[in-house]
Structures are given as C-alpha cells and as structure tokens.
Amino acid sequence: MTEFVQGNRVILLENGREYFPALEAACDAALSEIHIETYLFEDDCAGQCIGGALMRAARRGVATHLLIDGFGSRRVGAPLVQALREAGVKVLVYRPEIALRFQRQRLRRLHRKIAVIDARVAFVGGINIIDDMHTPGHTPPRFDYGVQLEGPVLEHVHAAAKRLWTIVQLTQIGTGWPDDDGPQPDTRSRGIQSAAFLVRDNLWHRNDIEEAYLEAIGRARSEIVIASSYFFPGLTFRHALAQAAARGVRVLLLLQGRVEYRLLHYASRALYGSLLDAGIEIHEYHKSFLHAKVAVIDRAWATVGSSNIDPFSLLMAREANVVVDDERFAGELRASLERALTDGSSQVRPELWHHRPWPDRVAHWTCYGCARLLTGLFAYGPAQEFT
C-alpha cells in the first residue's frame, strides 16, 4: 500500500518552459548541495542553462553532483562535460557502456529524472535536460510534466538520490570515495498535501510504481485518466482497467499519436482492439510529441513521474514517480490533460479501428510479437505477464 506523508507543498510544472526556470532558480539559490539525475542531458539551450547553473553553484563552493545515463546521454559533448568538471561539478555516468548489446543488464538504464537542492526542495517528473523543441520537425513543444516538492517527502527523495550516487561512485574506479557530509533533509511541514515518493529498481522496489497504479485503479469509482507516451501494459494492468470500465468507471487513455520509436508505437496499438472492446476510451495526441507519464483517478489521486506503462519502465529501468493525494493538485493536472484532449488529440473510434487496412494489422501484431520477445529475453519477471 502506498505510504503517504502529509504536510507537503507540490507544484505542477508543465513542459520545460515552467520546469527549467524553476530548476535553474533553485540551483542558483543552493547553499550546500545539489543532486541531479537525468536520462538525457543535451548540449542545447536547456543543457547549457542548467549546466551553467551547476557550474555557478560549484564555483561558489556548493557540492554539485550530476548523474547521467550512459546511453541516453551518450551524445552530450565532451567540451560541456569537461567544462562542468573544471568548474567543480562532479559528473558520473550510469552504465557508461554505449553499445546496447543483447545482455539483460545493458538494457537497465537510469530513466528517472530527479533533482534535490540543499535537501530542501526537489524536482521529480518526466522532463529530461533537453530543449522541448529538440526533436526534429517540432512546432509545438514536447508535452511533459514535472513537480516541485517541499516538505516531509523530501526525506525519501534525498535518500534515493544520495543512495544511487553512492552506488555508482563505489562501482566506478577513479571516481573518488563517497562523502557523507551534507545537509539533513528539511522535513518541516510546507503545505497541506499528502504525497508519496516511489522508485522502481531491481532489488527491493521492483513493483512499487505499478502496484500504486493498480491499487488506485482498483479503488476507482468514477474516472481514470492516464497519459503515457509508451503504453504497453501487462495482463494484470489491462485487466484492472477493463474491470474498472465494467463497473462503470470512465477509463480514458491519452497516448502518443506521433511515431517516435516504431517498435513500441506499433506494438502498443496492437492492444487497442481489446481495450476498446472493454469500453476504454483511447485518444491519440498529435499536436506534438507526448512525453508525459501521469495519471489522475477520481480527480483526487494523481501521479507524475518518469515511468511509462510498458515493460521497459515497469520491469527494467530505474524510475521515480510522485503520487499526490490532493483534490486541488489532481484537479490542476486533470484540467491540463483536458486541454490536451481538446486541443491536440483525436479519439480512436472502435468502429473505424476494427476496419483498418490489413497491412496496418500485420505491422501492429509483428511489432507486438517482437516486443514480447524482447520482454521475455531481457526483463525480470514472467514473460506471460505481457501476453
């Protein structure tokens, strides 16, 4: 069961236009310590903005830590990394091997996006350190969310960031010895919101995020809204959604409409027929690339994070989500999703979907079979879960 802590202040941040200024301001106000983890760190305007804030902090004596993924951030330029290190920023690479060979551990990436400043304020969500307009052909910005946190939940976010930094540092020769010094988390009450911080790893927290979803879906009485850039759930998750729809809950999925990664895109569409037949609404977002990984249930329970509803997020990658039990926050996120539904998406109609051309069906089911095979080969847990 999700363990909420009370007394938090949770601020919803939509897209990089809200996220990066808030993160930069927090870094510029840092007095003692910064931890940032990200899958993508690009040498573009966003990377230079946050990188500049990290360098300014390091030069004034702040212990500044940047942990990037070895595959997701493989294109970050050596000059930027060198400039960061010369300024005093400690930079580590999670699994620095670039080649994704067919080995299970090579596919286990650092996908979570976390920042903790002075153990006083934290940022969690799905937004990488990359310009919203980075994807070629973009006109509107990439659609994503993050949250800014203050309050008792900081204890859990700070501990997770420190723990992973220590693990990576201990396993990489020549990166120094972990420093136990640093501020203690500021756990004083900062608001009235109940929140929980959840991670997914391969040890003690392999299923925490998925179980939180399933718990909330099982309790739903009126509405479930899920926005996910990659939606390829297993049987248990699909059955939970179908059962909710069967008991009269409106279940609405806002999914990626544009093709970014063909395998997962077409594999997920193979599931549309059974979902539509269960009475689940599917809307595809076409205005820009959907990168959001959020949900609102009964307009009171909400989650924002890095975890997609697919086997790579739920079974393999390191992820982090914040769950908020608060009607005001859930209402704000629900209103934002409603705007996306109205302005940038189109509904998939069952009668049209079941009469789509046969080449489309072949492509969908071929990709579905490949995705299942990869899941069975490389993910922990039974492959039949994703049948």
Active site residue 118: yes
Catalytic residue among 35, 111, 156, 283: 111
Active site residue 355: no
Closest CA to 322 of 204, 162, 159, 212: 212
Cα 1 → chain centroid: 21
Catalytic residue among 134, 156, 291, 364: 291
Active site residue 298: yes
Active site residue 293: yes
Catalytic residue among 293, 310, 326, 364: 293
Catalytic residue among 35, 65, 90, 118: 118
Catalytic residue among 35, 65, 113, 156: 113
Q: What are the catalytic residues?
A: 111, 113, 118, 291, 293, 298
